Amino acid sequence: MSKKIYLNGGADLMKNESLEIDRKFISETDNKRICVLDLTTNDDSKKVPWRDFLKQYFRQLGSKETFFASTSKDIKSQLNSSGIVYLPGGDPAILMENIKNNELEDSLKNFKGILVGNSAGAMVLSNEGVCMGYKGEEDRIKGLGLVNFAVDVHYDKTQDEQLKSLSLSKDLYAIPETSVIIVEDNKKSFIGNVYKFSKGNKIKIN
Is the pLDDT at 1 greater than 50? The verdict is no
Could you report the per-residue pLDDT of 31-71, keeping only the tens digit for each? 899 999 988 888 877 778 888 899 999 999 999 999 887 76
Rounded Cα gap, residues 43 and 114, in angstroms: 27
- C-alpha pair distances (Å), 61 with each of 19, 28, 33, 87, 167: 8, 12, 12, 17, 37
pLDDT above 70: percentage of residues in the chain: 95
* pLDDT tens, residue by residue, 118-132: 999 999 999 999 887
Number of domains into which the chain is organized: 1
Task: Give the Cα separation of 42 and 55 in Å (integer).
Answer: 20
Residue type at 94 in one-letter notation: I
What's the whole-number mean pLDDT along residues 108-123? 93
- Confidence check: pLDDT of 136 > 60: no
Q: What is the tens place of the pLDDT at every residue in 149-174? A: 999 999 999 999 999 999 999 999 99
> Residue 17 is part of a domain; what is its CATH number?
3.40.50.880
Q: What is the pLDDT of residues 66-87, one digit of tens each?
A: 988 776 677 777 777 889 999 9
Domain span at residue 26?
4-204
- DSSP per-residue letters across 152-163: EES--GGGHHHH
Helix (H) or strand (E) holding 53: helix 44-60
